[in-house]
Amino acid sequence: MRVSVPSEVKNNEFRVAITPVGVNELVRRGHEVFVQQGAGEGSSIPDEDYEAQGATMVDGAEDTWAAGEMVLKVKEPIEQEYGFLRDDLTLFTYLHLAADEPLTRRLVEAGTTAIAYETVQLPSGSLPLLYPMSEVAGCLAPQVGAHTLMKPSGGRGVLMGGIGGVANAKVLVLGGGVAGQNAANIAMGMGADVTILDTDLEKLRTLFWRFNNQVRQLASNNLTISELVPQMDMVIGTVLIPGAKAPKLVTDDMVASMKPGSVLVDVAIDQGGCFEGSRPTTHADPTFEVHDSVYYCVANMPGAVPHTSTWALTNATLPYAVQLAERGWADALRADPALAKGLNTHAGQLTYRAVGEAFGMESVETDDVVAGS
């Protein structure tokens, strides 16, 4: 199979969808890999490293997209890439369609077979291709939140902790999954007083032992959230419903009751965000204010640490990319039910129900599409 890897074009997105290790694995299996010139520079991977493993370097995005039967990306296509979508293309990337109606409709119109990293789901319910970026985003959230809390950044001027005789910052983490656990771990390491909320009691019991009861865990509900939010210096939202829009757990009225200069970091912004006032921002302009509180809603947080993120992502996606290249999309999905859950669009049809419900669009069952292909 011909596999193409274009440069990412989203604002300050420095990741790339494959490492030289990934190129080596595909090429030694007889596949052709085309990488856009300079695609790896933001992740400190020079073109020469790709060429050394057998990749063909291509000048320009249009030619790179055209060269591949399958395109591997990191982030969803943005408007300037819509013209590259076509009906004989398999696209394997993060899509987050429930928060992006224009892209959803464009993929359907183009007839592209689009497989989303974030909806590949194992029988256990875990999301193996979202996991590494959830780790990264979770670790970053307290860091960017702490920076935003500083007075020159518009925050309250509160240090996370570590000063004798002075109260630590109070941090609330919504969601005890991968991102939430990593956020709590880093925030605790920075000296903050951390509380995690989740609706899954088993998950909360696990967190009790993981953090040796040093992090407060509470069952999540509207009343508890509304009581805790006004007390906090920082709220980190990590709530995720696979493939669907994130629930709005923190209302503007709650934010209005917070201390001026408090910070809210919405890790769930790729799926629409879990704060009522959230809207996507970029690394170039990451924050805005709501009721005197500062929101950080960058939609590609892991892009800030691209070297780490690129290697972590390829470690997770490569086995699936190999299967798609070896078998073709239909046989690969038939052979792996977890990968089949990643199919979002094919041949002009929407194949993920939660996305259809978000936009009032008809969808078909993935199993029917795969069986008929």
**Residue 371 binned pLDDT confidence (cut-offs 50, 70, 90):** confident
Percent of the chain with pLDDT over 90: 92
Active-site option among 100, 198, 270, 336 = 270
pLDDT of residue 240: 85
User: In angstroms, how far apart are the furthest CA atoms of the chain?
Assistant: 68
Indicate if the pLDDT at residue 122 is higher than 90: yes
- pLDDT tens digits along 249-262: 999 999 999 999 99
Tens-digit pLDDT profile for residues 23-45: 999 999 999 999 999 999 999 99
pLDDT at 244: 81
- 152-192 pLDDT, tens per residue? 999 999 999 999 999 999 999 999 999 999 999 999 999 99
pLDDT at residue 280 greater than cutoff 90: yes
Q: Quick one: pLDDT at residue 367?
A: 84
- Length of the chain (residues): 373
pLDDT of residue 304: 93
Task: Round the average pLDDT of the chain to a whole number and report it.
Answer: 95
Average pLDDT over residues 322-346: 96
Options 96, 100, 198, 336, the catalytic residue: 96
Q: What is the pTM of this model?
A: 0.88
Cα–Cα dist 247/47, whole Å = 42
Q: Catalytic annotation on 270?
A: yes
Give dist(CA 265, CA 273) in Å, integer: 10
How do residues 225-248 score in pLDDT, each as one tens digit? 999 999 999 999 999 888 788 999
**How many other C-beta atoms lie within 10 A of the C-beta of residue 208?**
15
Above 80 in pLDDT, residue 263? yes
What is the C-alpha to C-alpha distance for residues 373 and 370, in angstroms, rounded to an integer? 5
Strand partners, 135: none
Over 90: is that where the pLDDT of 346 sits? yes
